[in-house]
Amino acid sequence: MIVLNDEHYIGEGLIRTCYEHPEDKSRCVKVPKAHVTRDYTYKEILYYLKLQKRNTSKFNYPFYSDYRGELETNLGLGQVFDLVRDEQTGTISKTLEYYLNNETLVTSEKLWNALLQLKQQMTQFKVFTRDLRARNLCCKVLNDGTIQIIIIDGIGHRDFFPLADYFSFFSKKKIERTFKKWHFTSIEDQKAFLLKDNG
Ligand SMILES: Nc1ncnc2c1ncn2[C@@H]1O[C@H](COP(=O)(O)OP(=O)(O)O)[C@@H](O)[C@H]1O
Ligand SMILES: [Mg+2]
């Protein structure tokens, strides 16, 4: 069993609290909140296991934080994932929401290019997300100052007939719809959505 405490805390959403893995700097541990069912967590794990059967060596970059198994913690059963860090400083990468709220740090153009790259990779490798929110995307700052956007939450889909898993025509449409639905049609559009969403 590993012990997680305040010093390991990274952030949280409605579902889980995220901690730095005390013994592995490249991983984080997510502990589901009390109301989250095992069924919910397990469905997500199954999607990651399905993705892991694919050949990931052709990815331009690891565009989602991958699942690395479960582990007992003092706070309950946790799931281990890749932790995103900036290349040069090694600090834990900030979310896209953070950069959209702190406009002076990175240009909109850089963020937009990174989003286009993410979309291209999701389309090419048929990886979907149910919850494409700026707070579920991490911005890894590279040595040359460019950004890679990495999905840290919400991966998977609920399609009963998963045509998009198999046919490029459907996967392309599905990802187009996802980007539209979550207001990723431009950086300005996303900023306006964040303002409205966060009231
Ligand atoms: N792999 C990761 N790398 C860096 N930060 C992360 C990572 N996963 C989560 N975080 C941080 O923790 C927060 C909550 O994690 P998340 O998985 O989105 O929880 P929830 O499922 O409750 O929404 C994120 O918004 C982000 O700030
Ligand atoms: Mg989240």
Q: What mean pLDDT is reported for the chain? A: 95
- Domain 6-82 = CATH 3.30.200.20: yes
Measured by CA distance, the residue closest to atom 19 of ligand 1 is 13
pLDDT at position 50 is: 92
pLDDT at position 157 is: 78
Q: Cα–Cα distance between 184 and 56 in angstroms, integer?
A: 25
Token digits for 136? 């579920």
Predicted structure pTM score: 0.95
Mean pLDDT of 23-34: 98
pLDDT band for 145, please (50, 70, 90 cuts). very high
> Cβ–Cβ contacts within 10 Å for residue 81, how many?
21
pLDDT in tens, 45-80: 999 999 999 888 999 999 999 999 999 999 999 999
Expressed in angstroms and rounded, the spacing between residue 18 Cα and the centre of ligand 1 is 6
Backbone angles phi, psi at 114, to 5 degrees: -65, -35
Expressed in angstroms and rounded, the spacing between residue 158 Cα and the centre of ligand 2 is 17
Say which DSSP state 12 is in.
Answer: E
SS3 content of the chain, % helix, strand, coil (to 5): 35, 25, 40
The full set of domain ranges for the chain reads 6-82, 94-197
- The total number of residues shown for the chain amounts to 199
Token digits for 38? 């095992």
